[in-house]
Structure 1
Amino acid sequence: MKRAGWFGVAVQLFLLVESSVKTPVRRFPGSIDSPDPILSPPVHLRILDQHVIMDNGLVNVTLSTPQGMVTGIQYNGIDNLLQLNRETNRGYWDVVWGSLDPPGNLGGKYDLLEGTSFSVVLEDENQIELSFTRTWNSSQNGTGIPLNIDKRFIMLRGCPGFYSYGIFEHEEGGPDINIYQGRIVFKLEETLFQYMAVSDERQRIMPTAGDRQNGLVLDYPEAVLLTNPSNPELRGEVDDKYQYSCDDNNNRVHGWICSNPPVGFWMITPSDEFRTGGPVKQDLTSHVGPTTLSMFFSTHYAGESLAIELRDGEPWKKVFGPVLIYLNTNSPDEDALPLWEDAKEQMLIETQSWPYDFPLSEDFPRTDQRGIVTGRLLVRDRYINKELLTANFAFVGLAAPGDVGSWQRENKGYQFWTQADNEGYFLIKGVRNGNYSLYAWVAGIIGDYKYDAYVNITPGSRIRLGVLVYEPPREGPTLWEIGSPDRSAAEFYVPDPNPTLLNQLYVNLPDKFRQYGLWDRYADVYPDEDLTYTVGISNYQTDWFFAHVNRNLGNKTYEPTTWRIIFVLDNLIDTGTYTFQLAIASAHEAELEVRINEADEMPPHFTTGFIGKDNAIARHGIHGLYWWFKVEISASQLVTGSNTIYLTQSRGSSPFKGIMYDYIRLEGPPETD
């Protein structure tokens, strides 16, 4: 954090706004050395009895009619990049949902969202847009999710790929439902695609689906030990699709590479506006199948609080996408790995081109129908600095009106997020019409910010909020702290995995928290007694286990653990109140009890109660939903000299019940001026 400077505020805001309205030049390479896309052949549509084919001379896409399943993708001389299994399991949209009729029937129902009607929205030499729809009525009750569905597919001239977006609508008076997950999925031909790339560091040769089927299932079905893989170099490794999850703000491009011939298949998601839960919501990317997908919403790393609940006939409508399925190639005598670099370049072009100007649904507003919000965020914390601090690189966003921090559980509307610059200036562009609250959080500062007025966006509006000041939770001076307030447990001690349960990809990467089975390593690190942290002596990077988990006693038996924080008070202010600030990065079916200097105090001094269903411990997430608690401690409970805070995670029946701490701070009584 830096002290705030005031020079150049107006200039910076002006430049931010002016730069936001410039439209980048679109580029569709199709290969690393491609011709000018203007010279590409026109797009062409063929309508057959049960299929429709879009073709632009670079890629040929076949869809079933009226279902709207992608059954074939022809590219670079390959007849079909997709698995030759049943047509409904190649390229498709789907949802997982539940109903309240009969009561208690909210479990997972699966719907492939097959269309019942097909239409051509546009066909000319430059663009094709197709629509596959299904309209729900009460006579269909129980046969599919009670939503109106419109799946759109777009092919542009010169684009080596195609776009897809969907419009979901729950009509007024519709039945009560929960929707847990929505996505678009592609299953690729595994004899072609064996190399997966999720980021610059996270890419590798992958096992096959058959390797998983022949492996040993571990603590849950997604995690499999490869016992006899077709590639001997993978023998003894663990494969788990959750090891390849990603925060949404970083989840822009991922996919697969075929080496012979060199072909890349990429999922590009250019915006988070239609995703739920904010920029650090985690979700799946590509994984064994070979599978690549774009997750629009899910309960992963959050639990049922991110299920879309539609009650009492509530009307709801939302557009998901468009996303780009992007293909690229290289000359046969060249290395295939540069295809990843090309895909990243195309991803940047797509994100800079958002919102797109070519989708034809009236439910997708273009740039001139959207608004812009600018401002500057500063921080006032007199115990850090008497002067205002810049909220450098803060996450700032617009989401549905709600309480402080409610954005991370919001799931029905649209969210628009950005990161401030190093002076705290922010610009949020491309905002749909509507009434929003403005939220923010700052790495290095505890808690959440919410602007005290609504932000109303109308077409073409440019709203300058000026200078905003966040006053984070604070009662008194810091006596000591553990960790860094960044909504993650990544800075704490992450042990090496069991050597028999490795994923070699993460052996030399900093995010080794993605290794399988780390929850059981706690008992190896602390075999005789639970963690004890001594303020002023211990180092949280080496002495604070990344997750407060239960102890493995063997035979699938687990017991709760109690951690101790020992600290010395040299000058106890015996008439004051001390404050224990507790920020939690993840919780799964947990209850944290806090006791002060009495290990067996009943009831405990403080309890969070039952919190969390994010399952981030099992899914290698390092964070889930964020929780913050303020615990007041009377001076009468403390002593001059050595004190101990006992932290007990009391729900002990499972290896996955536990919490991850973000940051802990003990504050002294408020200082008087």
Structure 2
Amino acid sequence: MLDNGLVQINLSIPDGHVLGINSNGIPDLLDDHNGREDRGYWDVVWNEPGGPSIFERTVGANFTVLTQNEDQIELSFSKIWDISLRGKSVPLNIDKRYILRRGISGYYSYAVFERLEGWPEVEIDQIRIVYKLRSDKFRYMALSDERQRIMPTMEDREHGQPLAYPEAVLLTDPSDPKLRGEVDDKYQYSLENEDNKVHGWISADPPVGFWIITPSNEFRTGGPIKQDLTSHAGPIALSMFVSTHYAGKDLGMSFEEGEPWKKVFGPIFVYLNSLSSPPNNPQRLWANAKEQILSEVDSWPYNFTQSEDFLSSDQRGTVAGQLLVLDRYINEKLMWAQSAYVGLAAPGEVGSWQRESKGYQFWTQADEKGYFIIKNVLPGEYNLYGWVPGFIGDYKNDTMITIKPGGEVQMDVLVYEPPRHGPTLWEIGIPDRTAGEFYVPDPYPTLMNRLYNNQPAQKFRQYGLWERYADLYRYQDLIYTIDVSDYRKDWFFAHVTRRINNGTYGAATWQIVFELESVNNDGNYTLQLALASANEADLEVRFNDASAMPSHFSTGLIGRENAIARHGIHGLYWLASVDVASNVLQQGSNTIYLTQSKSRTPFQGVMYDYLRLEGPPAS
């Protein structure tokens, strides 16, 4: 037991599982009906190449008190892998750490994961921390100012009606009658990494909050807009470090035979707060938790950890610069890359950061003039990446950036030239890497989560919206007419399969109809096709001939992101610059046919980010 007068933590030795947490009048915050290993734990999902997935709770074999003084205590629960464990345990050395500090109402948790040379190949799809709280106390969940609610229990879900996939359940006889007829699905409570700083649960009696605070995204995979799980019915609170959610296997870690690796995940802060005086308004606990995240961010990187692998601020470096945009078809002059996302990640190809999972990433947003500064970067070699809202494509600087302890790298003025071949003839959508600007239908009245009924910006999180396409386009697929249609009302947010009466699904072909006063035969046209997500899809593009074989362009089979089923408005970003020969176009009316040809399930499809037809380059 660790005790600082505010918080008591019970840990199993040498496993390193959290058995109980006592704080602020509740003798145990965790669900003691669960087994000792199933209350608070780290876990890994892994497989040998070609083998089945294995779920493994990380179990320590060695217990060490690293620091113990009047100000803090830090404990280590470690396990060393050897060849006798092949096929039985993930080939990693794992050192889990817990820190309790004087006067702090909560504790810190982090872990060092390591592979040594000569170890076998392995694929790792998930690393996380799980806390399962007392269901008789914690019923109110908070993810953001707008996304808060009374939640169903796990028993409510077990008694409910399963829907199209296991995570989604229609609540038929919940313990709280107000929840009857609602859909509950843990993916409805996902957040993007950049917004996932604090989330948790509130007990009404006594008024206590349990919060997962993540002060930095440097150890998370997939960049700032990677989406992941947070809290969900159980009550369960998660800290996700590695996952394939909204990305698929593209974002899993794959290690070759003999490949060494080491990474620190965390620290994250488990924060516990309470109300000592009325009124017992849960918003007071939420407001206090938001204040605490500011304190944790200001303290990052922490200077009290004992691991030599977690570096303090004076052992890190800084990169600064200014990013401008050059698109002569918009402006002959350089433009400021306003609010650009700029980040450092492992060296790779353009856009490789969104599939990079082994290293650290450091991101910021530029100001209104494109100036940026990236602080507290770990020593190493990086490429600088970015993208600019309002422009398609990805930026990458070809310079190899070397960060040294205490070093400051001042970049020259950087210029991003987004993909462009000619003048804009027409465009659909907004290039922002999401499908959020398109038409999101109302949910089925019998399949709603009422949390999102009055949140238009979160409407896409409702269950079953993929089925609404066939309702709205019962007799023919979507037809969009340039200069007549409005993408906010007339472009469905997801290009899904069409439900057929016998329970099977068929491909849907969308049409874009547009006029050309004349066809310029001096060069080719270009269709800029930006996708916000793809799931087991093959998007075929044809010009003025719906039956052309082969199609004029095909993405091929792409994506395993499942954002359609999991209520995400985007997954990974895909961009294709489609070369359009002038002889496939004609003076007057033209039609582009977009066919998503894979139709085995209702969840195969794409989400569009933005489409633009460009004329031939100006002379």
The alignment's TM-score, normalised by the length of structure 1, stands at: 0.91
Task: State the Cα deviation string for residues 645-672 of structure 1 (Å, max 9, x = none).
Answer: 0000000111000000000000001112
Partner of 1:239: 184
Equivalent residue for 1:284, pick from 211, 226, 229: 229
Query: Partner of 2:324 in structure 1?
Result: 378
Match of residue 544 from structure 1: 491
Deviation at 1:352, TM superposition (A): 2.0
- 1:98 corresponds to which of 27, 47, 50: 47
In structure 2, the partner of 1:337 is 283
Residue 289 of structure 1: how far off its partner (Å): 0.6
Task: Give, in whole Å, the separation in 1 of the partners of 2:371 and 2:388.
Answer: 13
> Within the alignment, does 1:124 sit opposite 2:124 as a pair?
no
Q: d(CA) in 1 for partners of 2:250 and 2:523?
A: 38
Instruction: State which of 72, 83, 93 in structure 1 corresponds to 2:31.
Output: 83
Residue in structure 2 matched with residue 299 of structure 1 by the alignment: 244
In structure 1, which of residues 226, 235, 255 is the aligned counterpart of residue 171 of structure 2? 226
Identify which range, 572-581 or 66-75, moves more after superposition: 572-581
- Aligned: 1:514 with 2:461: yes
- Deviation digits for residues 74-109 of structure 1 (CA, Å, limit 9, x no counterpart): 001211000012111111000100013xxx21x210
CA-CA distance at 1:575 after TM superposition: 2.4
Partner of 1:31: none
Q: Distance in 2 between matches of 1:661 and 1:556?
A: 26
**Structure 1 match to 2:12:** 64
User: CA-to-partner distance for each residue in 1:164-212, whole Å, 9 max, x for gaps?
Assistant: 0011111111111000000011000011100000111110000000000
The structural deviation recorded for 1:331 is 2.3
Answer whether contact 2:340 2:365 (CA < 8 A) is retained: yes
What is the CA–CA distance in structure 1 between the aligned matches of 2:372 and 2:402, rounded to whole Å?
17
Structure 2 residue aligned with 1:187? 132
Q: Structure 1: where are the runs of 5+ without partners?
A: 1-52
Choose which of 144, 168, 178 in structure 1 pairs with 2:113.
Answer: 168
Residue identity opposite 2:4 in structure 1: N
Aligned 8 A contact 2:518 2:586 in 1: no
Report the identity percentage: 61
| Residue 606 (structure 2) pairs with residue 606 (structure 1) | no
Residue 414 of structure 1: SS of its match in structure 2?
Answer: coil
**1:142 Cα deviation after fit:** 2.1
Distance 1:159 1:87 in 2: 26
Deviation of residue 556 (structure 1)? 2.6
Residue 288 of structure 2 aligns to a residue whose secondary structure is: helix
Matched residue SS, 1:350: helix
1:648 matched to which residue of 2?
Answer: 595
User: Could you say what secondary structure the match of 2:563 adopts?
Assistant: coil
Amino acid at match of 1:518: L
After TM superposition, the structure 1 stretch with the greater mean CA deviation from structure 2, 270-279 or 553-562, is 553-562
2:309 to 336, 358, 363: 363
Secondary structure class of the residue paired with 1:452: strand
The two structures, once aligned, show a CA RMSD in angstroms of: 0.7
Deviations 1:313-370 (A, max 9, x none): 1001110000000010112522232110110111111112211111110000110000
Q: Does 1:559 align with 2:506?
A: yes
The residue type paired with residue 65 of structure 1 is I
Give the letter for the 1:57 counterpart: G
User: In the aligned structure 2, how far is the partner of 1:333 from the partner of 1:383?
Assistant: 61
- CA distance in 1 between counterparts of 2:362 and 2:522 reads 46
The answer (yes or no) to whether the contact 1:374–1:466 under 8 Å persists in 2 is no
TM-score, normalization by structure 2: 0.99
Superposition map of 1:470-485 within 5 A: 470-485=416-431
Which of 352, 371, 379 pairs up with 1:406? 352
Asked whether 1:140 is paired with 2:88, we answer no
Q: Which amino acid aligns with 1:221?
A: P
Q: Deviations over 1:631-655 (max 9, x none)?
A: 1111111111100000000001110
**Correspondence for 2:150:** 205
Provide the rounded CA distance (Å) in 2 between the counterparts of 1:555 and 1:124.
70
Does the alignment pair 1:257 with 2:202?
A: yes
Q: Which amino acid aligns with 1:204?
A: R
Amino acid at match of 1:362: E
Cross-structure match for 2:371: 425
Counterpart pick for 1:590 among 530, 537, 541: 537
Q: Is the 8 A contact 1:82 1:187 kept in 2?
A: yes
Aligned twin of 1:150 = 95
Deviations 1:287-317 (A, max 9, x none): 0010001100100000001110011210011
Give, in whole Å, the separation in 1 of the partners of 2:548 and 2:37: 59
- The amino acid of 1:595's aligned partner reads R
Q: Which amino acid aligns with 2:594?
A: L
Answer yes or no: is the 8 Å Cα contact 1:330–1:336 preserved in 2: no
Aligned match of 1:311: 256
Runs of 4+ in 1 over 6 A off after TM superposition: none
Secondary structure of 2:567 counterpart: coil
Do the aligned partners of 1:262 and 1:332 also contact (CA within 8 Å) in 2? no
For 1:437, the equivalent position in structure 2 comes to 383
Deviation at 1:574, TM superposition (A): 2.1
Provide, for residues 384-409 of structure 1, a one-character-per-residue CA deviation record: whole Å limited to 9, x for no partner.
11111111111000000000000000
Query: Would you say 1:346 and 2:292 are equivalent positions?
Result: yes
What are the within-5 Å matches in structure 2 for residues 650-665 of structure 1?
650-665=597-612
Report how many aligned residue pairs link the two structures: 616
Provide the residue aligned with 1:463 in structure 2.
409
2:452–2:459 Cα contact (<8 Å) kept = yes
Secondary structure, in 3 states, of the residue corresponding to 2:431?
coil
Q: Which amino acid aligns with 2:31?
A: Q
Kept after mapping to 2: 8 A contact 1:533/1:565: yes
Whole-angstrom distance in 1 between the partners of 2:124 and 2:314 = 32
Give 3-state SS (helix, strand or coil) of 2:565's partner: coil
| C-alpha contact 1:197 1:254 (8 A) present in aligned 2 | yes
One-letter amino acid matched to 1:255: G
Q: Is residue 537–residue 557 contact of structure 2 (8 Å, CA) maintained in 1?
A: yes
The counterpart of 2:54, out of the listed 87, 100, 109, is 109
SS of the counterpart of 1:139? helix
- SS state of the match for residue 285, structure 2? helix
Superposed CA deviations along residues 506-538 of structure 1, whole A, max 9, x for unmatched, are 111021000000000001110100000000000
C-alpha distance in structure 1 between counterparts of 2:409 and 2:609, whole Å = 34
Per-residue deviation, residues 231-285 of structure 1 (Å, max 9, x unmatched): 0010000000000001101110000001111100000011110011111111000
Deviation at 1:554, TM superposition (A): 3.2
